[in-house]
Structure 1
Amino acid sequence: MADEKVLDAQKWVNATYGGVAGYQPCPEDGKTGWSTMYALIMGLQHELGISPVVASFGPTTMAKVQALGEIGFGWSGNENIVRIIQHGLFCKGYWGANGFGEFGAVTTEAVKSLRVNMGLPDGGTGTEGGTVTPQILKCILNMDAYVVVAGGTEKIRAIQQWLNGRYWQRDAYSIGPCDGIYSRD
């Protein structure tokens, strides 16, 4: 079954970045998958000045995102980067925005929900919380789930959330899924 918001993301990213060197279009089928996330990553890379773009959120992408600093309520550095975040949130099942390109209260609340589901602090109350760090942006643009999925358990998810909450700010730690399924990833 197609999701209208995912389809919107796919159409927008293909229309916006279709002519960019290295860009690989995603299918416009309304289904979240790696091809959609890769397309959003390549769009992000273009906005960061990386050329040609590639289907990977690697060290160069991370360094360029780190140079932006934290992205949160009212951030207006680049409307397309905000839109990529919002489309990524929709693809992960969060209501990313009522309107695109502005990091407003709705996007802030979506990021807070994601952070809590990851086991991280939500970042504060009102519009003070819900910031997107470089690590969180990388997670928004991957296929990890942060809610229990089929075959997962709340007990395993609680452990995953604890690990993320304890170690997420360490350089050598990557935020892991909180899907309730034991893995070594």
Structure 2
Amino acid sequence: MGISLADQTMDFLFSCGVGFVLGAFYELFRFYRIIMRPGKVLVFFQDLFYWTVCGVATFLFIFWANAGEIRGFLIVGELLGAVIYYCTLGWLMLQNARLIARILHRISMFLKKYVWTPLTKPFRLLWRAIRKRTGKISQTTKKVGISAKNRLKKHRALLYNLFNGIRLSGSKKAGKGE
């Protein structure tokens, strides 16, 4: 029981469509990279996620189209669909992504300057006042601690003689006071 040429052609065209969609899906990551400029580690995990999704999508497509039987023309069709996307719509999207990135950057700078900064200024002033007060309290407590430590050092002979003179109950050693 073979597969007809018409069915194979339809499967090939569907595989081109799956490749085209996977290419468009990768465009989201490219757009994010243009706008946010993530580090190498984040790019690695994005690529890992993308290729995992591609593998699952390819597996499900092959399972649907050909009952799980891997055919070379299906893989070639996916690759061809991705290449067609990158050479046509992908190039156009990349140019627009740069334009959109510039527009979004300008909008965010406008919002930061005229919305975010005026809203946060009272909180920053309040925070500075709180830090100033807590700083004074912290300095005062340090001074008190140092002063108490110095007082103990001056009277250490008295303090230690006091403790040596007290007999602890159940102790075999007797202090000087016995």
Per the TM superposition, whether the score is higher than 0.5 is no
Q: Which has the higher contact order (CA 8 A, sep 6+)?
A: 2
Larger Rg computed on CA atoms: 2
TM-score by length of 1: 0.19
| Higher percent of residues as helix | 2
